Amino acid sequence: VTTSTGPLGVFDSGVGGLTVVGALLRRFPSERVLYVADQAHVPYGERPLEEVCGFATEISRFLASQGCRAIVMACNISSATALPSVSARLAPRPVLGVIAAAVRRAVLPPLLPPSQGWEPRIGVLATAGTVRSGAYSAQIRRLNPGARVIEVACPRFVPLVEAGELETEAACAAAREYLAPLAEAGCRTILLGCTHYPFLLSTLRRTAAELFDVPVTFIDPADEIADALRAALFDLGQVHHSAPNLLLTTGDPDVFRAQAPRFLPGAAFAVAPACWTSEGALSLPDRSAT
What is the identity of the amino acid at 38?
D
Among 71-79, 113-121, 174-182, 231-239, which window interacts with ligand DGL (CB under 6 A)? 71-79
Q: Which residues contact 97 (CB under 8 A, 6 or more apart)?
A: 72, 73, 76, 78, 79, 80, 83
CB contact at 8 A, 268 and 56: no
Q: Is 45 in the site for ligand DGL (CB under 6 A)?
A: yes
Going by their DSSP bridges, the two strands 33-37 and 245-249 should be labelled as parallel
Q: Is 12 in the site for ligand DGL (CB under 6 A)?
A: yes
Among 38-46, 108-116, 169-177, 277-285, which window interacts with ligand DGL (CB under 6 A)? 38-46
Q: Is 220 in the site for ligand DGL (CB under 6 A)?
A: no
Nearer to ligand DGL, 77 or 208 (CB): 77
From CA 128, how far away is CA 250, in angstroms rounded? Answer: 22
From CA 11, how far away is CA 56, in angstroms rounded? Answer: 8
Q: Is 100 in the site for ligand DGL (CB under 6 A)?
A: no
CB of 95 to ligand DGL, least distance (A): 16
Q: Which of 90, 96, 158, 204 binds ligand DGL (CB under 6 A)?
A: 158
Among 7-15, 113-121, 217-225, 261-269, which window interacts with ligand DGL (CB under 6 A)? 7-15
Q: Which of 42, 103, 147, 152 binds ligand DGL (CB under 6 A)?
A: 42
CB of 198 to ligand DGL, least distance (A): 10
Q: Is 264 in the site for ligand DGL (CB under 6 A)?
A: no
DSSP-assigned states of every residue in 38-66 = -TTT---TTS-HHHHHHHHHHHHHHHHHT
Among 103-111, 133-141, 191-199, 247-255, which window interacts with ligand DGL (CB under 6 A)? 191-199
Length of the chain equals: 290
Q: Is 199 in the site for ligand DGL (CB under 6 A)?
A: no
CB of 158 to ligand DGL, least distance (A): 4
From CA 256, how far away is CA 160, in angstroms rounded? Answer: 15
CB contact at 8 A, 1 and 63: no
Q: Which residues contact 73 (CB under 8 A, 6 or more apart)?
A: 11, 56, 60, 79, 82, 83, 86, 95, 96, 97, 98
Q: Is 44 in the site for ligand DGL (CB under 6 A)?
A: yes
75 is catalytic: yes
No. of helices (H) and no. of strands (E), the chain: 11, 12
194 is catalytic: yes
User: Which entry of 68, 154, 187, 194 is annotated as an active-site residue?
Assistant: 194
Tell me the catalytic residues: 75, 194
Residues that bind ligand DGL (CB under 6 A): 12-14, 16, 42-45, 75-77, 127, 130, 158, 194-196
